[in-house]
Amino acid sequence: YDSYLHTSSNRETFASPLEPSKEPSTDFSSVDLSFLPDELNQDNTEQPLTEGKQGVEGNHEIQGDPSRIQSLNEKDSGGIYTDNFSLSNSGLNPLSDGNSTLPSPENSSPGFFPLTSMTPLMPVTPVSEVFYRVYYSMNIVSTVNLACKLDLKKIALQAKNAEYNPKRFAAVIMRIREPRTTALIFSSGKMVCTGAKSEELSRLAARKFARVVQKLGFPARFLDFKIQNMVGSCDMRFPIRLESLALTHQQFSSYEPELFPGLIYRMVKPRIVLLIFVSGKVVLTGAKERSEIYEAFENIYPILKGFKKA
Amino acid sequence: MNNTTPSPMSAIATSSSGRATGKSMSFALELQSMMFSLGDARRPLHETAVLVEDIVHTQLINLLQQAAEVSQLRGARVISAEDLLFLMRKDKKKLKRLLKYMFFRDYKSKIVKGIEEDDLLEDKFSSSSNVNKRQKIAQDFLHSIDQTGELLAMFEDDEIDDIKQERMERAERQTRMMDAAQYAEFCESRQLSFSKKASKFRDWLDCSSMEIKPNVIAMEILAYLAYETVAQLVDLALLVRQDMAPKAGDPFSHAISATFIQYHTSTESTAACGIEAQSDAIQPSHIREAIRRYGHKIGPVSPFTSAYRGNGMTFLAC
């Protein structure tokens, strides 16, 4: 267990959650998990992401207690993890101080905490957190009114990263690197901003574009900023039987694999369109607010679990 | 199967001969995959695929020619969606299915555009009237030819498509038993279509000898109709095969037609009354029997129905 302990201490020192956490998973493979029933292993790959902070703290507990690890291996049922975890939870306090600074692991890999398990003693993690941690990316489209007539030619000539092809399209396409976004600026003063990863970033990007226009000499303002569309994607991490889903939820689903490999699910409440793929990846689009995406995910998650391909 | 009626189009002679003198391309492999996804066995027979390809090709060529005639009638320069819709006006169910397909295509491009950032920009470039383009074409056209209001009523009609339902149920039954790897393979087969191999499809159809050629949307529809034909063939062949299986207590087992038994004994070595076919795959005999039944002139009025039958060709797709 020396290598195992070593990587645990490594984890304490790193600052960013994005450090590749592949190492711990390979080290955990050295720990003998063969006596675990298969489903428990799978659940472990899903659930540990939900434990988030708790998991982090729990792991540090395990690190501080090598004797407990040995007992993990010796006993013969999967249930042992329950006891261990609850024990470590109750003994949380001493090592928890250093952990509160750790930012929530957005991109933690599934192998990060395979020893945690889902137990009735622990609070059930709300489904939206599972979504958040499983795989999370967003694309936001927003519009804003700069409230002044613009000379597109002047903008295109003087601004960097701007393209303007009046024969093709009547707007200037401008891009900025931070946040990485693209804007379509029309002569009427209206602007569309796409590519941002969150609402705040979209607003920030739109402001940056507006400032660029301002610097070029136009009296640009920032009126009616509105998020038009939000796209989220996530990964269920299990294959889904699309034929059965299309059959049982006929009134909501359209599945034409010759045209498009995914099933198009039109959820009524909230009004979101989901693209569900065989691999388990789900794309949610049509939302005006983040809560709608979460709500849609919470609605679809139990349904998709029912159609998991064994 | 061959259309022997002389047609104003001289192309027919060239097309049949083109077909006979070994086409360089063949859809047999793709068809085998498609048939699997439509309900056939895990590995459909090559002979069956070749036969199906033949049938689909013939039917499409004939359809194309009829569409060209219609197109000429209205003085157009290209065969467009309207002509094909016109040919399908007789069968409401199939027409409705085609319309649903077209709307779905529009809808899907609308959604995917919203997701892909690059596509969003491309969309802005092209005129925004692209949205629901196919739907508009269909609606406008049907509006113009509809005299009794039946066709337009179809848009509001929400009846379930029985055949589509049956196909979905069959697919569901098929996939229930599969494990993850087989299911992945099945899904890939399902994604195969003629529209995916558009250029090969175009060459296969060989419209170069025709005076009036189909436009882009017409090609889409033709690809869809080809797929529908294959699907119909598989549906019917499965039905035939089911009939062939001797059922205990079947009161009509003595009334099976002679041609039926002839097919049964000539293509299979097992006794006609006995064991079911060795493989699960659809045999060419099933397909031939299915075609025979579909085109069979049953009923008192049949000699006087449908211009299509006069040509000796009943289309499976419309």
For residue B105, the chain A residues in CB contact (below 8 A) are 259
The pLDDT score that the predictor gives to residue B94 is: 83
pLDDT of residue B118: 57
Question: What does the pLDDT look like over A244-302, one tens digit per residue?
Answer: 899 899 889 988 888 888 999 999 988 999 999 988 889 988 888 888 888 888 888 88
Domain presence at residue B81: yes
Q: What is the distance in angstroms between the Cα of A127 and the nearest Cα belonging to chain B?
A: 24
Q: Which residue pairs, CB below 8 angstroms and at least 24 apart, start in B187-191?
A: B187/A242, B187/A257, B187/A261, B187/A278, B188/B33, B189/B33, B189/B34, B189/B36, B189/B37, B190/A257, B190/A258, B190/B37, B191/A257, B191/A258, B191/A261
Is the pLDDT confidence value at A138 over 70? Answer: yes
AA identity, residue A242: L
- Residue B244: is its pLDDT beyond 60? yes
Neighbours of B235 (CB within 10 A): 18
Distance from CA of A191 to the nearest CA of B (A): 13
Is the pLDDT score of A5 beyond 60? Answer: no
* Helix/strand/coil percentages in chain A, nearest 5: 40, 20, 35
Do the domain assignments include residue B318? no
What mean pLDDT, rounded, does chain A reach? 68
pLDDT given at position A41: 40
Model confidence band, residue B116 (pLDDT cutoffs 50, 70, 90): low
What does the pLDDT average to over A197-210?
90
Where does the pLDDT of residue A143 fall: very low under 50, low under 70, confident under 90, or very high at 90 and above?
very high
Out of A86-100, A206-220, B43-57, B257-271, which region has the weakest mean confidence (pLDDT)? Answer: A86-100
A107 vs B104, more confident = B104
Q: Where in chain A is the domain with CATH 3.30.310.10?
A: 142-227, 236-309
The reported pLDDT for the residue numbered A267 is 92
Per-residue pLDDT tens over the stretch A169-200: 888 999 998 888 999 999 898 999 988 888 88
Let me know if residue B218 belongs to a domain: yes
Q: Which neighbouring-strand residues pair with A173?
A: A163, A184
User: Which residue of B lies nearest to A285 if distances are taken between CA atoms?
Assistant: B115
With a pLDDT cut of 70, the percent of chain B lying above it is 68
Query: What is the C-alpha separation between A122 and A66, in angstroms, rounded?
Result: 23
**What's chain B look like in SS3?**
CCCCCCCCCCHHHHHHHHHHCCCCCCCHHHHHHHHHHHCCCCCCCHHHHHHHHHHHHHHHHHHHHHHHHHHHHCCCCEECHHHHHHHCCCCHHHHHHHHHHHHHHHHHHHHHHHHCHHHHHHHHHCCHHHCCHHHHHHHHHHHHHCCCCHHHHHHHCCCCCHHHHHHHHHHHHHHHCCCHHHHHHHHHHHHCCCCCCHHHHHHHHCHHHCCCEECHHHHHHHHHHHHHHHHHHHHHHHHHHHHHCCCCCCCCHHHCCHHHHHHHHHHCCCCCCCCCCCCCCCCHHHHHHHHHHHCCCCCCCHHHCCHHHHCCCCCCCC
Domain assignment present for residue B268? The answer is: no
Q: Is residue B305 part of a domain?
A: no
Residue B15: per-residue pLDDT: 42
What is the C-alpha separation between B157 and A101, in angstroms, rounded? 60
Note the pTM of the prediction, 2 decimals.
0.65
Please give the distance of CA B81 from its chain centroid, rounded to a whole number.
Answer: 16
Highest mean pLDDT among A129-133, B226-230, B266-270: B226-230
pLDDT over 70 for what percent of chain A?
A: 55
pLDDT at B186: 87
CATH classification code of A236-309: 3.30.310.10
pLDDT tens-place string over residues B193-237: 888 777 888 888 877 777 788 888 888 888 888 888 888 888 888
Q: Which of A7-21, A33-47, B95-109 has the highest mean pLDDT?
A: B95-109
Amino acid at B95: L
Are residues B195 and A182, on separate chains, in Cβ contact within 8 Å? no
How sure is the predictor about B124, in pLDDT bands with cuts at 50, 70 and 90? low
| B249 part of a folded domain | no
Selected residue of B36, B126, B183 to mutate for chain A interface (largest A Cβ count, 10 A): B183
Question: What pLDDT shows up at residue B52?
Answer: 87
Mean pLDDT of B285-290: 83
Helix (H) or strand (E) holding A233: strand A223-235
The residue among B127, B187, B193 with the most chain A CBs within 10 A of its CB, best to mutate, is B187
Q: Which two tokens stand for residue B115?
A: 């997701």
Query: For chain A, which residues lie within 8 Å of any Cβ of chain B, measuring from their own Cβ?
Result: 139, 141, 168-169, 171, 173, 182, 184, 194-195, 229, 231, 239, 241-244, 246-247, 250, 254, 256-261, 264, 273, 275, 278, 283, 285-286, 309-310
Chain B hits for A241, Cβ within 8 Å: 172, 175-176, 183
User: pLDDT grade, residue A108 (50/70/90)?
Assistant: very low
Mean pLDDT of chain B: 73
Count the domains in chain B. 1
Q: Is B3 among the domain residues?
A: no
Task: Identify from A248, A259, A281 which residue to disrupt to test chain B contact, counting B C-beta atoms within 10 A and taking the largest count.
Answer: A259
Pairwise pLDDT comparison (A28 vs B173), residue with the higher score? B173
Are B279 and B45 within 8 A, CB to CB?
Answer: yes
Residue of B nearest to A231 (CA): B115
End-to-end Cα separation, chain B, in angstroms: 16
ipTM above 0.85, yes or no: no
Chain A: give the shortest CA distance to residue B169, in Å: 7
Q: What is the pLDDT of residue B39?
A: 83
Q: What is the structure's pLDDT at B312? A: 45
Q: Residue B290 belongs to a domain with what CATH number?
A: 1.10.20
Residue B37's domain comprises 27-115+130-244+282-300
Q: Is the pLDDT of residue A240 over 80?
A: yes
Choose the closest CB to B168 out of A168, A171, A247.
A247
**For B77-92, how does the pLDDT look when each residue is reduced to its tens digit (9 = 90+)?**
888 888 888 888 777 8
DSSP state of A124: P
pLDDT of residue B4 exceeding 50:
no
* Angle at alpha carbon of residue A220, lines to A216 and A225, rounded to 5°: 130
Question: Is residue B276 in a domain?
Answer: no
Q: How far is A309 from chain B (nearest CA, A)?
A: 6
Pick left, alpha or beta for residue B303 (phi over 0 → left; psi -120 to 50 → alpha; otherwise beta). Answer: alpha
- Residue B296 has a pLDDT of 65
In the three-class reduction of DSSP (H, G, I as helix; E, B as strand; rest coil), residue A82 is classed as: helix
Q: A142-227: CATH homologous superfamily?
A: TATA-Binding Protein (3.30.310.10)
Question: CB–CB of B208/B68 below 8 Å?
Answer: no
Supply the DSSP symbol for A98: G
pLDDT tens-digit map of B22-55: 456 788 888 888 888 888 888 888 888 888 888 8
| pLDDT value at residue A127 | 55
Whole-number pLDDT of residue B313: 53
Residue B297 has a pLDDT of 55
Helix (H) or strand (E) holding A290: helix A290-306
Q: Is the pLDDT of residue A144 over 90?
A: yes
Chain A residues touching B98 at Cβ < 8 A: none
Which residues partner with A240 through β-bridges?
A: A308
